[in-house]
C-alpha cells in the first residue's frame, strides 16, 4: 500500500486521564503516526490485552509514568496497548516490506488502534501456520513466559512451585517448565483452583507434575522444601506460597512491585527474591511464534472482542479468572 492510498486518520482507543475502564474512549479521526528511522507502520489486525494494560490505565507503574510525561503533561491523550499483530503497510526498515504479516511487543504502546508504528528490531514475521489472532495474543505473554523460565535458572533435579499456571503468562510458562521435567528431571508443583487445574488438561500431561495445591482451601500450604517459587501473582498470594520453600530457597516474581513485600515476608528463611520485567525483542518473538506454529506451544485464547468493546474486555481481564488470553480485533 503506497502512501497515497493510506488514510490520514484512524479509529483508536484513547485515554485523557487515569481511572476506571470508562476513561477509555473509542475515537474516530485520530492521526496515524509518522514513521521514524527503522520503524514500520502496521495495519493492526489484533491487539492482545495484558494486566499491565489495565494497571497503566489505572495510573500505576512505568507505563503510566511514561504516559504522564509524554502525553498528559502536554495535554495530549494517549493510546494504550503493547501487543500487536498485523500487516506492514509502510516500512523504513530493510528487514520488513509492505505486505509482511508481523507481530511485536512494543513498550511504546499505542496498539489499541488501526495503525501503529513499531521499531523493526521488535518485530518478527508471523509463520503461515499461525493466525494473526494468535500472533496478536502472544507477544507479551510469550516473551515473558520464555524469559521468566530462563531467568529462574532452574537446575537439574530442582523442585519448582508456580502459581497462576492458567493465566496469560502462566499457561505458557507451565508448558516451558514441563519441557524441563523431561530434559532436566525437574519437579513441578502447581498452585491454582480446582477449576483451573481441570482446564490444564488441554495444555499439559498432568501426570508429569509433582503435585498440586488448591489455594481455595482454608489451610496452610505444605512445606515442600521446594527450591524455587515462580510467583506470577505477588502480594498476599505470593506471601502465602513462601511456606512451600526450603530455607535459602529462591523466589522469582512477576510483577516486580512485590519484591520488597516478599523479601520481608521471607526473611526468616533467608530467601533470595528477584523480580523480572520482560525485555522485548524480535528474536524471542520469532521463537515463540515458531513454537506455536510447530505445535510445541499451545496458546489459549479465552475471548476476542472488537476494539470498540475495549471497556468490556478490560473488565473481563480485571476479574482475574481468565484461562489464557483476551484479545482485541482492530480490523
DSSP string of 80-109, one letter each residue: ---EEEEEEEEES-SS--TT-EEEEE-TT-
For the CA atoms of 131, 137, 141, 143, the dihedral, rounded to the nearest 10 degrees, stands at: 40
Q: Indicate whether 1 pLDDT > 50.
A: no
Return mean pLDDT, the chain: 96
pLDDT tens per residue, range 236-270: 999 999 999 999 999 999 978 899 999 999 999 99
Q: Indicate whether 2 pLDDT > 60.
A: no
Q: Indicate whether 4 pLDDT > 70.
A: no
Q: What is the mean pLDDT of residues 52-78?
A: 96
- Note the pLDDT of residue 320: 85
pLDDT tens per residue, range 164-196: 999 999 999 999 999 999 889 999 999 999 999
How many percent of the chain have pLDDT more than 90?
A: 95
Query: Which grid cell is 270?
Result: 533467608
Q: What is the mean pLDDT of residues 10-28?
A: 98
What is d(CA 103, CA 134) in angstroms, rounded to the nearest whole number? 10
**What domains can be seen in the chain, in order of their start residue?**
3-138+299-329 (3.90.180.10), 142-275 (3.40.50.720)
- Note the pLDDT of residue 257: 87
Confidence of residue 3 (pLDDT cuts 50, 70, 90): low
Q: What is the mean pLDDT of residues 281-307?
A: 98
Amino acid at each position: 500500500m503506497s502512501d497515497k492510498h493510506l488514510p490520514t486518520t484512524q479509529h483508536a482507543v484513547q485515554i485523557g486521564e487515569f481511572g476506571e475502564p470508562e476513561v477509555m474512549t473509542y475515537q474516530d479521526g485520530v492521526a496515524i503516526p509518522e514513521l521514524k528511522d527503522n520503524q514500520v507502520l502496521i495495519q493492526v489486525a489484533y491487539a492482545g490485552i495484558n494486566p499491565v494494560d489495565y494497571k497503566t490505565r489505572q495510573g500505576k507503574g512505568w507505563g503510566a509514568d511514561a504516559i504522564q510525561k509524554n502525553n498528559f503533561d502536554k495535554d495530549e491523550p494517549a493510546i494504550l496497548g503493547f501487543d500487536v499483530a498485523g500487516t506492514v503497510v509502510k516500512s523504513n526498515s530493510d528487514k520488513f516490506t509492505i505486505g509482511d504479516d508481523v507481530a511485536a511487543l512494543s513498550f511504546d504502546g499505542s496498539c489499541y488502534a488501526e495503525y501503529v508504528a513499531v521499531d523493526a528490531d521488535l518485530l518478527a514475521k508471523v509463520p503461515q501456520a499461525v493466525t494473526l489472532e494468535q500472533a496478536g495474543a502472544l507477544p507479551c505473554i510469550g516473551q515473558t513466559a520464555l524469559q521468566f523460565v530462563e531467568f529462574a535458572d532452574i537446575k537439574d533435579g530442582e523442585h519448582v512451585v508456580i502459581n497462576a499456571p492458567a493465566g496469560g503468562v502462566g499457561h505458557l510458562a507451565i508448558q516451558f517448565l514441563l519441557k524441563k521435567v523431561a530434559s532436566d528431571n525437574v519437579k513441578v508443583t502447581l498452585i491454582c483452583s480446582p477449576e483451573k487445574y481441570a482446564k490444564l488438561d488441554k495444555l499439559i500431561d498432568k501426570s508429569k507434575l509433582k503435585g498440586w495445591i488448591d489455594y481455595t482451601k482454608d489451610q496452610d500450604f505444605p512445606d515442600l522444601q521446594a527450591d524455587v517459587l515462580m510467583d506470577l501473582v505477588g502480594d498476599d498470594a505470593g506471601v502465602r506460597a513462601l511456606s512451600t520453600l526450603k530455607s535459602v530457597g529462591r523466589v522469582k516474581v512477576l510483577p516486580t512491585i512485590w519484591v520488597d513485600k516478599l523479601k520481608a515476608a521471607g526473611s526468616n528463611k533467608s530467601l533470595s527474591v528477584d523480580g523480572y520485567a520482560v525485555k522485548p525483542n524480535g528474536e524471542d518473538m520469532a521463537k515463540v511464534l515458531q513454537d506455536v506454529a510447530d505445535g510445541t506451544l499451545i496458546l489459549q485464547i479465552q475471548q476476542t472482542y472488537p476494539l470498540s468493546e475495549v471497556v468490556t474486555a478490560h473488565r473481563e481481564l480485571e476479574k482475574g479468572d481468565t484461562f489464557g488470553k483476551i484479545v482485541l480485533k482492530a480490523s
